[in-house]
C-alpha cells in the first residue's frame, strides 16, 4: 500500500493534501504541504512517526507558524501539527505543565489569573510553547529558558522522554532541540508568586510597547538575529533599508527588523529582499547578518 493510503487509516482526522502553508504562517506566505496531518492522540502521532520512518518520509513539525518562511515550492513529506494533541495546561503550585500546542498568550493570561509572575515578557509574542522552547523565544531581557524545568519529547522512532533541566541547553534564540530529531510534546515552567495588579500592569505595558513598535501587516517577527553588541533593526535602518521592497515584500518603514507582506508577496520576494538588506548592511558596517526566522521548503518554479 502507498504511504498516503496508510496514513489515512492511521489518522482519525483525515490528512490534507497539498495544503497551502500560507494558511498556516503569520507571513501568509508558503507553498503547499504535500501532506498536512493533525494527530488526535499520542498513539496516532507515534504511528505517523513509525510510518514516516518505514517509508523514509521527511517530517516537519509546525507550531503556530509565526517564525517561518516557507518557500514557494512548499514542503515535501508530512507537516505535523500538534494543535489538537497537546493544547492543555495545568497549574500545580508555582509551576505549570503545558502542551506544546498551547499559545504563549494563553499561558501569560492563565499565569496572571493565578497571580504567578515571570511570563510577562512573553505577552504579545505570538506562537506556541513548543515553538518558543525550540526557538528559546524571548523579549525585554528575558527568555523562556529561564523558566523551563522539564520538557517531554518524542523522537522520530516514537520514544517518549522526559528531559530534566540538566539535559537542556539554551542560548540566544537557540536550543538543543534545533540539532535533534525530536518533537516537543510538553514543558514544565516554574513561575513566582506575584501581585496581580503589578503583573497585569507589566503585561499591558509590554503589549502597548509592542503595538506602537510593531507593524500590523503580516510578518514573521524579527528577521535577523541581533549580532553580538548590536541591534539588527538599527543596522538595517542605518544601512538605509527601511521601506525597501521586492514585489510585495517590504522592510517595514516602522521597524527595520521586520519584513512585511503587503498583499501577495512570494517567499522568493522575501528571500531576494533579505539578500539586498544583507548586502547593504555588509557594505555599510562590514557585518554579516544571520537569519532568526527559519526558512524551509522547496524553491518555487520561478
Ligand atoms: C509579530 C511577531 C512578533 C514576534 N516577537 C517575538 C519576540 O519578541 N521574541 C521572540 O523570540 N520571537 C518573536 N516572534 C517570533 C515567534 O513568535 C517565536 O519564535 C515563537 O516562539 C515561534 O513559535 P511558533 O509556535 O509560531 O513556531 P513555528 O514558527 O511554527 O516554528 C518555529 C520552529 O520551531 C519548531 N517547532 C515548533 N513547535 C515544535 C514542537 N512542538 N516540537 C519541535 N519543534 C517545534 C518548528 O519546526 C520550527 O523549526 C514574533 C513573531 C511575530 C509574527
- What are 226-284's pLDDT values in tens digits? 999 999 999 999 999 999 999 999 999 999 999 999 999 999 999 999 999 999 999 99
Closest atom of ligand 1 to 185 CA is 41
Q: Give the closest residue (by CA) to ligand 1 atom 34.
A: 131
What is the pLDDT at residue 87?
A: 84
Q: What is the pLDDT of residues 18-39, one digit of tens each?
A: 999 999 999 999 999 999 999 9
Average pLDDT across the chain, whole number:
96
Closest atom of ligand 1 to 126 CA is 17
Question: Which of 26, 63, 108, 128 for a ligand 1 pocket mutation test, highest count of atoms within 8 Å of Cβ?
Answer: 63
pLDDT surpassing 90 at residue 100: yes
Centre of ligand 1 from the C-alpha of residue 67, in Å: 4
Q: What phi, psi does 91 have (nearest 5°)?
A: -100, 140
Centre of ligand 1 from the C-alpha of residue 10, in Å: 28
CA–CA gap between residue 148 and residue 256 (Å, rounded): 31
pLDDT surpassing 90 at residue 220: yes
Q: What is the pLDDT of residues 161-188, one digit of tens each?
A: 999 999 999 999 999 999 999 999 999 9
Centre of ligand 1 from the C-alpha of residue 64, in Å: 7
Catalytic residue positions?
173, 222, 292
Decide which of 3.40.50.880, 3.40.50.300, 2.40.37.20, 3.30.465.10 is the CATH code for 89-212: 3.30.465.10
What is the pLDDT at residue 51?
A: 96
Centre of ligand 1 from the C-alpha of residue 129, in Å: 8
Q: What is the pLDDT of residues 130-140, one digit of tens each?
A: 999 999 999 99
Q: What is the pLDDT of residues 44-92, one digit of tens each?
A: 999 999 999 999 999 999 999 999 999 999 999 999 999 998 889 999 9
Task: Give the pocket of ligand 1 (CB within 6 Å).
Answer: 26, 60-68, 82, 100, 125-128, 130-132, 134-135, 137-139, 177, 183-184, 214, 219-221, 294
Average pLDDT over residues 277-294: 97
CA–CA gap between residue 251 and residue 244 (Å, rounded): 5
What is the pLDDT at residue 196?
A: 95
Q: 0.85 cut: is pTM over it? A: yes
- Domain range list for the chain: 3-81, 89-212, 216-296
CA–CA gap between residue 138 and residue 104 (Å, rounded): 11
Decide which of 3.30.460.80, 3.40.630.30, 3.30.43.10, 3.40.190.10 is the CATH code for 3-81: 3.30.43.10
Q: What is the CATH number of domain 216-296?
A: 3.90.78.10
Q: pLDDT band at 302, cuts 50/70/90?
A: low
Angle between helices 42-55 and 3-10 (to 10 degrees): 170
Amino acid at each position: 500500500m502507498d504511504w498516503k493510503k496508510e496514513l489515512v487509516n492511521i489518522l482519525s482526522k483525515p490528512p490534507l493534501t497539498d495544503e497551502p502553508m500560507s494558511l498556516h504562517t503569520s507571513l501568509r506566505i508558503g507553498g503547499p504541504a504535500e501532506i498536512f496531518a493533525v494527530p488526535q492522540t499520542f498513539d496516532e502521532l507515534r504511528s505517523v512517526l513509525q510510518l514516516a520512518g518505514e517509508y523514509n518520509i521527511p517530517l516537519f513539525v509546525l507550531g503556530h507558524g509565526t517564525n517561518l518562511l516557507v518557500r514557494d515550492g512548499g514542503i515535501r513529506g508530512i507537516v505535523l501539527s500538534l494543535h489538537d494533541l497537546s493544547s492543555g495546561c495545568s497549574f500545580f503550585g508555582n509551576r505549570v505543565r503545558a502542551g506544546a500546542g498551547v499559545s504563549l498568550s494563553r499561558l501569560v493570561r492563565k499565569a496572571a489569573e493565578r497571580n504567578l509572575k515571570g511570563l510577562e515578557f512573553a505577552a504579545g509574542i505570538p506562537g506556541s510553547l513548543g515553538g518558543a522552547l525550540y526557538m528559546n523565544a524571548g523579549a525585554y531581557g528575558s527568555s523562556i529558558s529561564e523558566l523551563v524545568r522539564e520538557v517531554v519529547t518524542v523522537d522520530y522512532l516514537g520514544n517518549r522522554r522526559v528531559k530534566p533541566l540538566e539535559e537542556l541547553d539554551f542560548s540566544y534564540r537557540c536550543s538543543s532541540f534545533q540539532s535533534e530529531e525530536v518533537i516537543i510534546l510538553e514543558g514544565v515552567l516554574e513561575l513566582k508568586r506575584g501581585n496581580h495588579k503589578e503583573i497585569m500592569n507589566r503585561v499591558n505595558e509590554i503589549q502597548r510597547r509592542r503595538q506602537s513598535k510593531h507593524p500590523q501587516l503580516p510578518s514573521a517577527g524579527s528577521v535577523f538575529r541581533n549580532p553580538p553588541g548590536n541591534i539588527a533593526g538599527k543596522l538595517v535602518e542605518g544601512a538605509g533599508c527601511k521601506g525597501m521592497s521586492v514585489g510585495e515584500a517590504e522592510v517595514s518603514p516602522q521597524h527595520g527588523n521586520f519584513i512585511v507582506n503587503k498583499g501577495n508577496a512570494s517567499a522568493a520576494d522575501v528571500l531576494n529582499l533579505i539578500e539586498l538588506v544583507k548586502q547593504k548592511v555588509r557594505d555599510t558596517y562590514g557585518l554579516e547578518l544571520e537569519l532568526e526566522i527559519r526558512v524551509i521548503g522547496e524553491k518555487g518554479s520561478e
